[in-house]
Amino acid sequence: MSPVGRALHERFEHVCRSEVQRLRRKTASLTAEERSSVDALVLEVTHGLAKTLDAALNTPDSAAIVPAVMRLFAVTAPCLEETT
């Protein structure tokens, strides 16, 4: 995974975990096992989105959109020279 992809992955996971925590009251009727399944599914979807976006940003024609994507998702990544 590229530095930008890693930063996106971390940002998405942080937002995901924050939202799952925020929605705890609405999911209070779930059993611990059901809640664990929901958490795992949400994280799996989040990781898939980050991987897909990372793959799209690692194409030769994508260098121009990397800064916009980073701004859109409020991420910073070290070693951007590696991705451009």
Amino acid present at 69: V
- The answer to whether position 82 is within a domain reads no
Residue 84: pLDDT band by 50, 70, 90 thresholds? very low
- 42, 34 Cβ separation under 8 angstroms: no
Give the number of domains in the chain.
Answer: 1
C-alpha to C-alpha distance for 82 and 72, rounded to whole angstroms: 20
Note down the domain range covering 45: 3-76
What's the pTM? 0.71
pLDDT tens, position by position, 19-56: 888 988 888 899 999 999 988 999 899 889 888 988 88
- The answer to whether position 53 is within a domain reads yes
> Which SS3 state, helix, strand or coil, does residue 35 take?
helix
* Range name among 12-21, 32-41, 73-82 with the lowest pLDDT average: 73-82
- The answer to whether position 38 is within a domain reads yes
